[in-house]
């Protein structure tokens, strides 16, 4: 609060009411409701519910389908994060270095930020189409018989490919702004000290980009967990079947389609705990964040 | 001689990497456009190719005015209209609500300011996706399924904009509000005549990020809107690809062109307001 702030009895309350009302109705109420439902077993026809304690949770962790989905989510998240971060870093370093056409490259590499995930999914469907998909044709040259939506591994590959593609612009933009905040004097000093470009990158640029990198790491994990929903839903065409699915997609499938409210709520609560842990981790990193400038 | 030569080779390498990256981002969308420029029969046989056809106007007409489903309400025009309402409604709603709350927290002596702060900022921790089912139930109880309110308001229930404006207001020098008070400005006058004009750039940057975020929403509209007249473009695409699945001659031209129309407004905003967009993105996410 500002020292010279206003004192007024009801005006600040009036200003806070819209935000607080929306938050209570559409945030706290549903979040608490999810936690409560996770301890109950609902009647599928809407006739009441029974308290079952932790049964929804134990059933969940014992379920082979849930554990398979959990493992897929872990592998998916790691691959999407690592691939999109490293490709974006390479492109950002090069775009920061070149003089000619720098602005054009920047625009060309960041516009796809605005592409909605389901549209990225549609692009995936075309690229990997069974009869004439360009990437499917290309990998066929190496004897890879690509079957999207049929083969578990192939479908996972397409999901990861599209998810990485969609996340590249975000990472590129943040790495670019990180690179541009490195002071010119530091760059010049590095140029004198170190003749080799790769040496300069690893000794000077990379450590200076570490705060951006940590921040992006959390952002990318959150993206892979939650924002890829539209990509996955489009690629499996709304028919998950035996296809790979992330935990968020499973919450939706079990709860919304399968009407297993208790089980789905238990899954939601596990995801909440996961996000909370990530955010706490992120806040601690931000606190310790080192500024060189 | 050797130095200059090595330098040039590294520049060639840099440009090749950048060109490959740019092609990776652009080619898929060019491919959608090419497929939308040929007849569906041609596409079904050959897939994407290198030659553009002359079917774009016809496919454009189908994309904008044709509908499928039972009611025939989900034409491209209707979905574009709904997307606009979602994008603008979400962005404006979020900025207005967020600015007001941030103003109350930063500029007023409030007994429960710290409590309000924590109550509001806890919402940053949990995305809508983890509480999607109970949120749906509540919207259903309130009778807001298939309404614009039901679509927009629950999406506003996270404090990103509030947090952003709080940081910005705190960085504004103390002297400003002191001077305004000495000149006799009350809290409302200070907010409307000084703080809002001062935040113009921030508002623009925030608006761009929020508009794109709202426009691109998928899961929430999929659950909340079952009435075809309420579909947004991003939500409606799924319906069309699913209809394509079941037919002998999928309408590739129409669905691909709709996909392009769905990404066009946000993409144009990113390209033409690049500076504000980058500012909004890099400063709001931290």
* Distance of residue A72 Cα from the nearest chain B Cα, in angstroms: 18
Asked if residues B261 and B80 have their Cβ atoms less than 8 Å apart, the reply is yes
Residue from B19, B28, B169 whose CB has the most chain A CBs within 10 Å, to mutate? B28
- Across the interface, whether the CB atoms of B130 and A272 are under 8 A apart is answered yes
What pLDDT, on the 0 to 100 scale, is given for residue B286? 46
For residues A2 and B172, what is the distance between their CA atoms, to the nearest angstrom?
Answer: 10
Position A22 scores a pLDDT of 94
Mean pLDDT of chain A: 88
pLDDT at residue number A293: 41
Whether residue A82 is contained in a domain is answered as: yes
Residue A257 included in any domain: no
Q: Are B105 and A1 in contact (CB under 8 A)?
A: yes
Q: How confident is the model at residue A1 (pLDDT cuts 50, 70, 90)?
A: low
| Two structure tokens written together for A254 | 């079990």
Residues of chain B with pLDDT under 50: 1-2, 286
Instruction: Give me the pLDDT at residue A292, please.
Output: 47
Say if A21 falls within a structural domain: no
Place of tokens 């080799």: A196
| pLDDT value at residue B111 | 77
pLDDT band with cut points at 50, 70 and 90 for residue A287: low
B76-107 and B113-121 are packed helices; what angle lies between their axes, rounded to 10 degrees? 150
Average pLDDT of the residues in A209-227 = 90
List of domains in chain B: 2-284 (1.10.3720.10)
**Residues of chain B found within 8 Å of residue A111, distances taken between Cβ atoms:** 25, 267, 270-271
The proportion of chain A whose per-residue pLDDT surpasses 70, expressed as a percent, equals 95
Is the pLDDT assigned to residue A107 strictly greater than 50?
yes
Contact list, A237 vs chain B (CB under 8 Å):
241-242, 245
Domain that holds residue A146: 76-244
| Domain membership flag for residue A273 | no
Q: Per the CB < 8 Å rule, is B120 touching A272? A: no
Average pLDDT over residues A142-171: 94
State residue A239's pLDDT score.
76
pLDDT of residue B79: 94
Q: Work out whether strand A49-51 and strand A40-42 pair parallel, antiparallel, or are unpaired.
A: antiparallel
> Does residue A133 contact residue A149 with C-beta atoms inside 8 Å?
no
How big is the CA angle at A285 (ends A281 and A287), to the nearest 5 degrees? 120
- What's the domain count of chain A? 1
d(CA B190, CA B196): 9
Inter-residue contact B166 to B245 (CB < 8 Å): no
- In chain B, which residues have their Cβ closer than 8 Å to the Cβ of A127? 28, 31
**A125 belongs to a structural domain:** yes
Helix H, strand E, coil C: the string for B200-254 is HHHHHHHHHHHHHHHHCCCHHHHHHCCCHHHCCHHHHHHHHHHHHHCCCCCCHHH
What does the pLDDT read at residue B132? 85
CB B75 within 8 A of CB B67: yes
DSSP H or E segment with residue A42: strand A40-42
Q: Which tokens go with B140?
A: 């259903």
CATH number, residue A131: 1.10.3720.10
Asked if the Cβ–Cβ distance from B100 to A18 is below 8 Å, we say: yes
CA–CA gap between residue B59 and residue B57 (Å, rounded): 6
**Backbone Cα Rg of chain B:** 24
Across the interface, do B123 and A134 touch by the CB < 8 Å criterion?
A: no
Which of B116, B177, B218 faces A16 most closely, judged by CB atoms? B116
pLDDT of residue A208 exceeding 80: yes
Query: Comparing C-alpha atoms, which of A81, A83, A80, A165 is closest to residue A122?
Result: A165
- Mean pLDDT, rounded, of chain B: 88
pLDDT at A286: 65
Biggest CA pair distance of chain B: 77
**Does residue A261 lie within any of the structural domains?**
no
* Tokens matching residue A212: 């951006």
- Cβ(A201)–Cβ(A178) below 8 Å: no
Of B14, B97, B181, the CB nearest to A18: B97
Q: Of A271, A293, A279, A282, which is closest to residue A31 (Cα–Cα)?
A: A271
Retrieve residue A135's tokens: 């990437």
Q: How far is A130 from chain B (nearest CA, A)?
A: 10
Q: pLDDT of B63-95, one tens digit each?
A: 888 887 667 788 899 999 999 999 999 999 999
> CB atoms < 10 A from the CB of B54, how many?
9
For B131, which of A30, A105, A114 is closest by C-beta distance? A30
pLDDT at A99 over 70: yes
Report the residue count for chain B: 286
Q: Which residues contact A119 (CB under 8 A, 6 or more apart)?
A: B234, B237, B259, B262, B263
Determine whether the interchain pair A276/B154 forms a contact, defined as Cβ–Cβ distance below 8 Å: no
Query: Looking at the domain assignment, is residue A83 inside a domain?
Result: yes
Tens digits of residue pLDDT in A9-68: 888 899 999 999 999 999 999 999 889 988 988 776 667 778 888 888 999 999 999 999
Q: Which residues pair with A51 in a beta bridge?
A: A40
Q: How far is CA B246 from the centre of its chain?
A: 30
DSSP A242-278: TS---HHHHHHIIIIIS--HHHHHHHHHHHHHHHHHH
Q: Is residue A204 part of a domain?
A: yes
Structure tokens at A234: 């489009």
């Amino acid at each position: 609060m500002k020292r010279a702030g206003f004192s007024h009895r009801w005006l600040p309350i009036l200003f806070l009411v819209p935000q607080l009302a929306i938050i209570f109705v559409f945030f706290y109420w549903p979040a608490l409701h999810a936690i409560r439902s996770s301890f109950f077993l609902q009647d599928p026809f809407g006739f009441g519910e029974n308290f079952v304690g932790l049964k929804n949770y134990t059933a969940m962790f014992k379920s082979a389908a849930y554990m398979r989905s959990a493992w897929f989510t872990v592998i998916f998240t790691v691959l999407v994060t690592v691939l999109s971060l490293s490709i974006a870093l390479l492109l950002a370093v090069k775009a920061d270095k070149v003089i000619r056409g720098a602005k054009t490259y920047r625009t060309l590499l960041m516009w796809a930020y605005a592409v909605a995930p389901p549209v990225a999914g549609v692009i995936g469907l075309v690229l990997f189409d069974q009869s004439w998909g360009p990437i499917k044709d290309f990998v066929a040259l190496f004897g890879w018989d690509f079957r999207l939506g049929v083969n578990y591994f192939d479908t996972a590959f397409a999901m990861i490919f599209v998810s990485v593609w969609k996340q590249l612009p975000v990472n590129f933009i943040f790495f670019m702004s990180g690179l541009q905040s490195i002071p010119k004097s530091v760059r010049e000093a590095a140029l004198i000290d170190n003749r080799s470009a790769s040496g300069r990158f690893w000794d000077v640029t990379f450590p200076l980009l570490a705060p951006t990198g940590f921040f992006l790491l959390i952002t990318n994990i959150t993206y892979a967990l939650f924002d890829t929903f539209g990509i996955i839903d489009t690629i499996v065409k709304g028919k998950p079947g035996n296809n790979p699915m992330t935990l968020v997609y499973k919450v939706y499938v079990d709860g919304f389609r399968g009407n297993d409210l208790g089980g789905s709520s238990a899954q939601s609560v596990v995801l909440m705990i996961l996000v909370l842990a990530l955010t706490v981790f992120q806040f601690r990193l931000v606190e310790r964040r080192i500024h060189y400038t | 001689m050797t130095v200059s030569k090595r330098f040039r080779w590294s520049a060639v390498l840099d440009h090749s990497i950048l060109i490959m990256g740019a092609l990776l981002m652009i080619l898929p969308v060019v491919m959608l456009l090419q497929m939308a420029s040929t007849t569906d029969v041609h596409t079904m046989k050959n897939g994407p190719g290198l030659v553009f056809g002359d079917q774009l106007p016809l496919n454009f007409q189908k994309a904008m005015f044709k509908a499928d489903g039972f009611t025939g309400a989900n034409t491209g025009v209707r979905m574009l209209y709904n997307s606009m309402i979602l994008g603008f409604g979400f962005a404006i709603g979020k900025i207005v609500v967020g600015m007001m709350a941030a103003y109350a927290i930063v500029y007023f002596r409030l007994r429960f300011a710290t409590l309000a702060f924590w109550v509001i900022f806890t919402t940053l921790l949990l995305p809508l996706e983890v509480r999607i089912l109970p949120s749906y139930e509540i919207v259903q109880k309130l009778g807001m399924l298939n309404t614009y309110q039901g679509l927009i308001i629950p999406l506003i229930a996270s404090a990103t904009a509030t947090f952003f404006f709080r940081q910005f207001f705190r960085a504004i020098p103390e002297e400003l509000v002191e001077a305004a008070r000495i000149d006799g400005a009350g809290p409302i006058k200070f907010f409307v005549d000084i703080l809002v004009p001062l935040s113009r750039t921030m508002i623009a940057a925030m608006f761009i990020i929020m508009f794109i975020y709202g426009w691109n929403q998928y899961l929430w509209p999929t659950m909340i809107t079952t009435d075809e007249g309420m579909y947004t473009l991003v939500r409606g695409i799924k319906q069309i690809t699913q209809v394509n699945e079941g037919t002998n001659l999928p309408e590739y031209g129409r669905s691909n062109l709709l996909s392009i129309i769905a990404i066009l407004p946000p993409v144009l905003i990113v390209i033409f307001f690049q500076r504000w967009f980058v500012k909004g993105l890099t400063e709001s996410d931290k």
